[in-house]
Chain A
Amino acid sequence: MAALPTAVQISADILSRRQRADDIARLKSMMELHALEYVDVSAHMELLQAFERWPLLAYLEAQYQLPVDLQKHKEPSP
């Protein structure tokens, strides 16, 4: 099987086998978009719609969320 030519050569040493099999990981590496996270927008929308449909589920979601770590959001002192 012939390899398609690419503008950026991806070294097998840099990317793990799993990353090489992952198209999005390859694209991120090629485009140097390392911070880009994959977001399944439709699944996220379905989740939001589920919480809209059922107020008890939304209430429980708010009740049992992990408490915010205040140390991480400490205001800088003047």
Chain B
Amino acid sequence: MIAMSLRGVRGGVGTSSTLAALGYALHELGQKVLLVDMCPENSLGLHFNLNLAPREGWARATLDQQPWHEHAWSVEPGLCVLPYGQVQPAEYTRLDALLLEQPQLWSQRQAALADAFDWVLFDLPQRLPGHAANPHCDIAVMVLNADAACHVLLQPLLAKKPLFLVNRFDAASQLQRDLVLIWQHRYTQSLVPLSLHADEAMGEALARSEPAGRYAPGSLIAHDIISLASWCLLRGRRPA
């Protein structure tokens, strides 16, 4: 089983939409996939026509000391979503402290999931360090847009040699072309060697409660996501 996480370098870069589309694409390539919502917004399931902010989820269950694994939703055979659950701000702050105190919590859970899934994808929150650090991932990707704000936020992170993925790339933009050129030259080893293009289909897919690949299989973004999924299979050394 390969554990992978996506985390935005800041909010609003399209991390959850990308994760939902990637999970769907990996499943289309024959993989058994579990998507885990690590964000208190509790909205990952909307990409798969599930309820908004379901009450039950792994975080709610962890706080209530209930079994955490009973609240996953099966979208299709071999494609599941585990929601966060409804949690108040004070509670998720307490849960974050708990996750920092118990850094092995999700590792143990991942080991229990290893037989059931080929991939576990974590949608990490941009803040909440305990939530972001707890899953131990083979592939940890930071998602960013090719804009100056993301470039600023990226600078202090580069010493940790993160893997980062450009989302919503618009080749018609001089600034975006320049930024990607700089990143390709300066951070060759850190940059995922493909960019996800800006495509209206990605936004429309959420408005239809579907991942991009199901909503518009012929779209540019669906092709980009399939390329990303193939790259993940290569990186994770899993046959398609």
- Chain A interfacial positions (CB closer than 8 Å to B): 43, 46-47, 50-51, 53-54, 56-57, 60-61, 63-64
The 8 closest A-B pairs by CB, nearest first: A50-B178, A64-B155, A56-B148, A60-B155, A47-B185, A50-B181, A50-B182, A46-B181
Q: Which residues of chain A are near B181, meaning CB under 8 Å?
A: 43, 46-47, 50
Whether the pair B182, A47 counts as a contact (CB closer than 8 A) is: yes
Given contacts A43-B185, A47-B185, contact A53 B155 (CB under 8 A): no
Q: Which one, B155, B158, B175, B185, contacts A54 given CB within 8 A? A: B175
Q: In the complex, how many angstroms separate the beta carbon of A45 from the nearest chain B beta carbon?
A: 11
Whether the pair A57, B155 counts as a contact (CB closer than 8 A) is: no
Q: Which residues of chain B are near A60, meaning CB under 8 Å?
A: 151-152, 155
Whether the pair B148, A57 counts as a contact (CB closer than 8 A) is: yes
Indicate whether B174 reaches chain A with its CB closer than 8 angstroms: yes
Q: In the complex, how many angstroms separate the beta carbon of B185 from the nearest chain A beta carbon?
A: 6
Q: In the complex, how many angstroms separate the beta carbon of A59 from the nearest chain B beta carbon?
A: 10
Q: How many A-B residue pairs have CB under 8 A?
A: 32
Q: Please, could you name 11 A-B residue pairs with CB atoms under 8 Å apart, sorted by A?
A: A46-B181, A47-B181, A50-B182, A53-B174, A53-B175, A56-B148, A57-B179, A57-B182, A60-B151, A60-B152, A60-B155
| Other A-B pairs, 4, CB within 8 Å; known A51-B182, A53-B174, A54-B148 | A47-B185, A60-B152, A60-B155, A61-B182
Complex Cα distance, B174 from A53, in Å, reads 10
Whether the pair A63, B155 counts as a contact (CB closer than 8 A) is: yes
Q: In the complex, how many angstroms separate the beta carbon of B101 from the nearest chain A beta carbon?
A: 34
Complex Cα distance, B179 from A63, in Å, reads 16
Q: Which residues of chain B are near A51, meaning CB under 8 Å?
A: 182
Q: In the complex, how many angstroms separate the beta carbon of B22 from the nearest chain A beta carbon?
A: 29
Whether the pair B178, A57 counts as a contact (CB closer than 8 A) is: yes
Q: In the complex, how many angstroms separate the beta carbon of B124 from the nearest chain A beta carbon?
A: 24
